[in-house]
Amino acid sequence: MIRVVVLGSSASMPSKDEFPSCVGIKHGGVYLFDACEGLQKQLMKFKLSYFQVKAIFITHLHADHFLGIFGLIQSLNMSGRKETLLIYGPKGIKHLITSILTLKPLQSNFPVEIIELNQTKKPFYSNELFTIKAFKVNHNTEAFGYILETLAYRRFDMKKVEKFKIPRKYLSEIQEKGFAIVENKKITYQTLSYLAKGKKITFTGDTKQFAGIASKAKNSDLLIHDSTFSETEKKTAREKFHCTATEAALNAKKSNSKKLMLTHFSNRYDDLNKLFEEAKKIFPNTILAREGEEFLI
């Protein structure tokens, strides 16, 4: 299971209740999509180990999306980190972060590898559990969205388990070892299972509406979408290169996504129900990203 944790969901200005937009994913290690101010505090508060952070994926170089990197590195320094920290982002991120880390009080005691991305159809990051692709979005600076896709995995086919009359007590052993001896017969995991399709999470980052969002997010299990404004402020959304909640819902519907998470809310909205309701009318399986909320996929 993939654990998705909302570390913040405010737009560029933090609100009294929310940190700027940032999402943590626990699947093997901890992986961050953007890095809000106070990042290490948020990780501790919501029980994601900052020491287990493997990589950070920055959508663009507006300060609210990367300022948390430096506090995190200082906390990792004091915790004795030795493992390399990977940071991905658009052109310019290497110069920006390297320049700051050359300042003596902010130097890292462990390796920090910074990789600048180009738009590509192939995954730029992969491990034994998942891959990550980037796609360009329509913001007022170079910006990327990200797609995390888990690898296909085996699941028990319970009809086969019943067909072969396998007692449930053997299932854990079969899964762990790949087989079990049941009534003097070798029963393999492959015999009793099928290859299930992996999971897909799409994270748009900050973006103005454009036709490519729905195609990139096609068949997402979770679409985390910029929803800075209400549809009544659509003109403002376009001027500031952001989306409305209605546009997010339409993209979720067109992409055949299973669940939509609205995020990056302007702090002009004291009550987010306005955004929630307008999206839900179009795409019923809509949720609001609120600090501390978590979901299993």
Annotated active-site positions, please?
A: 64
Parallel, antiparallel, or unpaired: how do β-strands 193-196 and 260-263 relate? unpaired
Strand partners, 26: 3, 30
| CB contact at 8 A, 230 and 243 | no
First CA to last CA across the chain, in angstroms? 6
Parallel, antiparallel, or unpaired: how do β-strands 85-89 and 53-57 relate? parallel
| CB contact at 8 A, 216 and 254 | no
255 C-beta neighbours (distance < 10 Å), count: 21
Question: Which pair of tokens denotes residue 261?
Answer: 């998470």
Half-sphere exposure of 44 (CA within 13 A, CB side): 8
User: Phi and psi dihedrals of 228, rounded to 5?
Assistant: -65, -35
Give residue 237's Cα distance to chain centre. 23
User: Which amino acid would we find at residue 172?
Assistant: S
Which helix H or strand E contains 14, and what residues bound it?
A: none
Give residue 284's Cα distance to chain centre. 21
Nearest residue to 205 via CA among 41, 23, 16, 73: 23
| CB contact at 8 A, 199 and 297 | yes
